Amino acid sequence: MKSITLSLFASLLLLQACSHPIEIIGEGDVLSASGDRSCLLEEHAAGADNCSNNLVVHDYRETYYAVPRPDWTFHRWVNQCSGATGNECSFDISANAVRQFWGQAAPPLTAIFRPTVNTGLNALLIGHSFFDPIAEELPGHALLAGFSDHTQSRFYSGAASGTPQALWENASKRTAIQAVLDSGQVQLFGMTYHPDYPGIEGYRNWVNYALEKNPDTRFFIALPWLTTPANFDAATYAELWHQYHPAITHAFIDTLRAENPGVDFYCIPYGQSALELRNLYSAGNLPEVDTLVSSSGDAIYRDSFGHADDILLALAELVWLRAIYGVDLSSYNYDPGYTTDLKAIAQSIMDAHDVNYNAP
């Protein structure tokens, strides 16, 4: 009888109240100014009612404070106060307004905490043949650079079929990629570009799905070099890429940031790697390369379509490492195996990139 009575009481209370759940991602506490609505990390993990329900009956006037645990830092709020610059989130809602939502649950107030020291990210990388070979080598570079917790999943599909929109529209590939996102453990989601799918819809679909599974997912868009390089002289090749890069990736990022305040979006200008090598080759200053295109391993491109040969892959990998993990390549203990200082070139590419579109 006692349990039935308590259940009935709880049901009646819900009919006369609304709830505002509190969620915690990472390690920290959400403290309330009143002291009545605090949600500690251990309580959240245990599914305590003060976190999972946080019932509101009368006036809802409260200020919450996100307080990180040692070796963690507060990053941002989700759902409410997403544009806040500090760790406070306040509500001032009258009882009359609260009564309009009797029995309903508001979207949870979510506090995101991140480790003070980044030891590596769990990445999901989807793309085509101008993207996937660089993604394949990222774990080795991350480990060597000291990011021992880096893990990743890769999904490849050739040419335009490797774009976000095409992968979203491919039922079997979408299901496989979503299965990785469903774990809620993906921290970094990287995508590429192909002109056959010039719109933002594919990126938006993946961003929305990923954030639903982990609100602290970071995103990057990586624009490759142009195809059919022999059709352009070095100057035109460079000019076109520098025109396309901000027009495409920066525009996408601006839109996605506006739609998802506080979420990390950035781009990786690794396509510039081909331009820098082309310029050196045209000036006779790239001793490792005998010809522009060859399948023998001593060219910039291994075929006329523009797939990367070894030296281009090596340079692009370094750009990725610098862009994702902020590694100072001048002190990175790695020898790419070329006379040309690829680490210095990669560093200069990222140093010249618009900082507003770099990783935070």
Q: Which residues, in sequence order, are CB contacts of 340 under 8 Å at separation 6+?
A: 280, 285, 286, 287, 288, 311
Residue where a domain terminates, one of 76, 98, 115: 115
In terms of domains, do 127 and 237 share one? Answer: yes
Q: What is the CATH number of the domain that holds 274?
A: 3.40.50.1110
Residue where a domain terminates, one of 83, 115, 147: 115
In terms of domains, do 79 and 141 share one? Answer: no
Q: What is the pLDDT of residue 7?
A: 35
Q: What is the pLDDT of residue 268?
A: 98
Q: What is the pLDDT of residue 5?
A: 35
Residue where a domain terminates, one of 69, 100, 115: 115
Q: How confident is the model at residue 3 (pLDDT cuts 50, 70, 90)?
A: very low
Question: How big is the CA angle at 345 (ends 333 and 356), to the nearest 5 degrees?
Answer: 100
**Range of the structural domain that residue 93 is part of:** 2-115
In terms of domains, do 344 and 242 share one? Answer: yes
Q: What is the mean pLDDT of the chain?
A: 94
- Specify the DSSP class assigned to residue 228: -
In terms of domains, do 227 and 154 share one? Answer: yes
Higher pLDDT, 236 or 5: 236
Cα torsion for 233, 237, 238, 243, to the nearest 10°? 140
Q: How confident is the model at residue 186 (pLDDT cuts 50, 70, 90)?
A: very high
The SS3 call for residue 31 is strand
Q: What is the pLDDT of residue 82?
A: 85
DSSP string of 285-316, one letter each residue:
--TT-SEEE-SSSSEEESSTT--B-HHHHHHH
CA dist 313 → 24, 39, 143, 228 (Å): 40, 48, 18, 17
**Structure tokens, 264:** 């990390």
Q: For the chain, what is the domain count? A: 2
In terms of domains, do 228 and 86 share one? Answer: no
In terms of domains, do 325 and 201 share one? Answer: yes
In terms of domains, do 256 and 185 share one? Answer: yes
DSSP string of 155-184, one letter each residue:
EE--GGGGSHHHHHH-HHHHHHHHHHHTTS
In terms of domains, do 59 and 184 share one? Answer: no
The model's pTM:
0.93
The answer on pLDDT for 180 being more than 60 is yes
In terms of domains, do 156 and 96 share one? Answer: no
In terms of domains, do 96 and 137 share one? Answer: no
In terms of domains, do 126 and 104 share one? Answer: no
Cα–Cα nearest to 275, from 319, 312, 307, 247: 312
CB atoms within 10 A of CB 81: 21
In terms of domains, do 300 and 243 share one? Answer: yes
The answer on pLDDT for 151 being more than 70 is yes
The SS3 call for residue 29 is strand
Radius of gyration of the CA atoms of the chain, in A: 25
Q: Which residues, in sequence order, are CB contacts of 3 under 8 Å at separation 6+?
A: none
**Structure tokens, 18:** 């609304």
Q: How confident is the model at residue 10 (pLDDT cuts 50, 70, 90)?
A: very low
